[in-house]
Structures are given as C-alpha cells and as structure tokens.
Amino acid sequence: MYKRGDEKAIIGYTSGVFDLFHIGHLNLLKNAKGLCDNLIVGVTSDELVSYKNKRAVINHQERMEIVRNIKYVDAVVPQNDMDKFAMWERLKFDVMFVGDDWLNTPKWKELDEKFKVVGVKIIYFPYTEGTSSTLINKTLKDLRGKEDK
C-alpha cells in the first residue's frame, strides 16, 4: 500500500453496484480518493443485487473490470453480502465513503456507532442529483416503449 512519508497510509473503502457507470459513480470515487491514500471498492455481486428484486444490466465481472480501471481506484473486491463490518474485519480500512442518501437512517446510525469503536470514520458524500442507474434504466425503458408504438 502507498504511504505518505513516515505516516501510515489511509485506507478508504466504498461499495456499490456500479451498473451503467455514470457521473455519480465517478464523483463518489474521485471524492473518496481525495480523502485517502488507497481506495478499495467493493462491487456488489449479481446475487446480492437480486435481493432488491433488481438485476444489473452489466454482469459482475464486467462491472468489477470497469471499476478496476478507474484511475482513482487502487483495488476492487467483490461484495457478496451487506455486512460492512465483516468487510472491515477483512480489509481493515480507516475510512468508509457512502452517499448521503443513507445519512441518519437507522442502519447507518448503528453502523456509525459500531465503526467509531474501531476508529473507522464514515464520510457521507452528497448524492448526485439527476442521475442514477435506476433513472437511466427507466429512461431507456421509456424510450424503447415509444419506439414500439
């Protein structure tokens, strides 16, 4: 891992589906990398995406390869379950990055407290308004529906 002089390298972690890669994804990764020395990104497996009754357009291996090739990303790991603390036990990151759409939710309040005990800080980034994979999928579906008429 890269280090700054004699200081311990700060390891950051974030995760997501990263389907239909868009500017919101890029903003998250760029901003996260600006606050750590090494950024590890968990890419949600196809099986885990299905828990939301959704399906990724791009398969897991291809999404991992796309994220791996973003210049802000130092390492990519599969995310096979939602247990962020188990991932910390595996990777020992110092800071975790997440969208502020999760801020103050019961799940993340609990995670924040759990992570404080082990010295991990959670940083919430502003959600990128106006774009998401869900919105892109809806727009494509709507456009295709108009073409069929």
Alpha helix ranges (H) inside 69-105 = 84-91
Task: Give the C-alpha separation, 93 to 76, whole Å.
Answer: 13
Is residue 138 part of the annotated active site? The answer reads no
DSSP 30-78: HHHHTT-SEEEEEEE-HHHHGGGT---SS-HHHHHHHHHTSTT-SEEEE
Exposed e or buried b per residue across 52-84, where buried means at least 16 C-beta atoms within 10 angstroms of its C-beta: eeeebebebeebbebbeebebbbebeebeeeeb
Catalytic residue among 3, 8, 33, 52: 52
Is residue 54 part of the annotated active site? The answer reads yes
Catalytic residue among 54, 109, 116, 138: 54
Residues identified as active-site: 52, 54
